Copies of this chain bind each other. A is one copy, B any other.
């Protein structure tokens, strides 16, 4: 017999599990890549690994404020990693700082996600007005998580190109 459950708790679990899986894949790249790999371009003339690392951490950091969990950890890094492309002349934080940033942001998110009731995911985030939310109830926090999960996958697909840098 097949049981059907279609509860908010189950749906939230599925969405968080997809998110966690992308974060873990990134964690594995962080463990395995050398500094040289992070400083390389994913393809000739394209973004470097270090920019994508900072970009993903800064986008996740932004969720801390978007979901009203806390202030961002490093709002001062938004400009170089979100508003401007790689090689815009900014002096980047060190790789060690960025790896720590990635870890700290995701720990803060996971800790806050763990305290949320399933229904809380269906509330609006700070960049949607009450008026719009009444008409577009899908513009909730869970939808942001789903979109950010896809965004992480998109860049993971690029970062894996830095694997086996000199072998194939």
Chain A: how many interface residues by the 8 Å CB criterion?
46
Which residues of B are found within 8 Å of A123, using beta-carbon distances? 2, 4
C-alpha spacing A3/B134, complex, angstroms: 6
> Are B153 and A18 in contact (CB-based, < 8 A)?
no
Task: Report yes or no: B137 in contact with A5, Cβ–Cβ below 8 A.
Answer: yes
Least CB distance from A86 to B in Å reads: 11
Within the complex, which residue of B2, B18, B130 is in contact with A130, where a contact is CB–CB below 8 Å?
B2
Within 8 A of B (CB), among A1-38: 1-6, 8, 10-11, 13-15, 17-18, 22
CA distance A141 to B99 in the complex (A): 35
- The distance from the CB of A55 to the nearest CB of chain B, in whole angstroms, is 12
A44 CB to nearest chain B CB (Å): 7
Min CB gap A1→B, angstroms: 7
Identical chains in the assembly: 2
B168 A45 Cβ-Cβ under 8 A: yes
Interface centre among A4, A6, A43, A158, by most B CB within 10 Å?
Answer: A6
A107 within 8 A of partner (CB) = no
Tell me whether A66 is interfacial, beta carbon within 8 Å.
no
Q: Which residues in B have their C-beta under 8 angstroms from that of A146?
A: 14-15, 18, 146
Contacts of A137 in B (CB 8 A): 3, 5, 10
Can you list 26 A-B pairs, Cβ within 8 angstroms, ordered by A? A1-B130, A2-B123, A3-B133, A3-B137, A4-B119, A4-B122, A5-B122, A10-B137, A10-B138, A11-B142, A14-B146, A17-B138, A18-B146, A18-B150, A42-B161, A43-B43, A150-B153, A153-B153, A153-B157, A154-B154, A154-B156, A155-B157, A156-B157, A157-B158, A158-B158, A161-B161
